Amino acid sequence: MSAKEKVILAYSGGLDTSIIIPWLKENYDYEVIAMAGDVGQGEELDPLNEKAIKTGASKIYIEDLKEEFITDFIYPTLKAGAVYEGKYLLGTSFARPVIAKRMVEIAEKEGATAICHGATGKGNDQVRFELTVKALAPHLKIIAPWRIWDIKSREDAIDYAQARNIPIPVTKKDNYSMDRNLWHLSHEGQDLEDPWNEPQYEKLLKLMVSPEKAPDRPAYVELEFEKGIPKKINGVEYSPIETMNVLNKLAAENGVGIVDMVENRLVGMKSRGVYETPGGTILYAAHRELELLCIDRDTLHYKDIISQRFAELVYFGQWYTPLREALSAFVDVTQQTVTGTVRMKLYKGNCMPAGAKSPYSLYSEELSTFGRDAVYNQKDAEGFINLFGLPMKVRALMLENNKEK
């Protein structure tokens, strides 16, 4: 008798993946091996080992991916200044490829023939998981239950779980779709599906306080960067994980990092979500202030174009592509002088710059002062404007000449 083929399941212990283990057992003759990637979910991971085995998995891997997640995915995206549609700091987007990468590694170790995930056919995560698998292990089969089973809603999924006595972390009355990691916590579904509804922050927020409940006095934080990477907070050097933990706590206490947005999913529809990204909000704002100080105008403006494309690649699940790698190489060159210290002021949901300095600063007080200076000849501006505006002047003269005819 030949051994069963193995499938590696991306396992979170949430509603969807909780029911996928028995579903796979009922519909496929596979040995199911669960894999949970620890990207900072915290206590959510504690019961997974026992739960996965009880619901039918032959074994479970719980992989600590936190530092790799920060250094290999968050930091390159931070340096790029990538923000999807001007608001979303990509918290779920760049967590998927690091998890899928480890799934592929485990599949190779276990000799598995298939990968399975719990992403729905309406979402972006299915693309992110599967493009990573295609890029790293194109021979692996991919099983996506939400695209083929009879379950059509979260309510159906809850019924399926209850019928099999599978413990799940949500009920029909409280079933926001949430995703948590070191960078953020996302919320979708329920009352958020109507964009006119104001989010019930007192009920919704898990990582932070609302701005209304933040302290009445501002908090200040100083961040030191080296080549675009955060190294110290208030003069103290921290590891990447410690950096996120310290900034998350500080921002959360001051109500900093809430984003409510309607975004364009890759599959074509718009969706509405609320994101808690406390520490990440500080990092993005501080990093930008340092770039404004240290990067020349032409490079900075061109990098802004790159940033938008980079954000799309991350959001679309195209991390393992030549274009993303090429853009990261460009970004790394721009970051060679992004070294210095930024002071940020946090107050009731606001994150404001309160000072920046760098040995690579391109700011010259002598040049920009409104007072008397000896280095800038204001008369030079006349010739500059005449030449810079010459094409406009020539066109205007042409239009005047034709108007007279």
| Known binding residues for ATP | 10-18, 118
The residues assigned a catalytic role are: 16, 96, 125, 177
Residue 317 region, left (φ>0) first, then alpha (ψ -120 to 50), else beta?
Answer: left
In terms of Cα–Cα distance, which of 221, 212, 223 is closest to 251? Answer: 221
Task: Write phi, then psi, for 7 (nearest 5 degrees).
Answer: -125, 135
Burial class from Cβ neighbours inside 10 Å (0-12, 13-18, 19+) for residue 295 reads: buried
Single-letter code of the amino acid located at 50: E
Tokens of 194: 């109507």
User: For residue 261, how many other CB atoms are within 10 A of its CB?
Assistant: 16
Cα distance between residue 54 and residue 56, in whole Å = 6
- Say if residues 117 and 132 touch (Cβ distance below 8 Å): no
Count helices and strands in the chain by DSSP H and E runs: 15, 14
Q: 29, 12, 13, 5: which is closest to 110 by C-alpha?
A: 5
Distance between CA atoms of 235 and 60, rounded to whole angstroms? 41
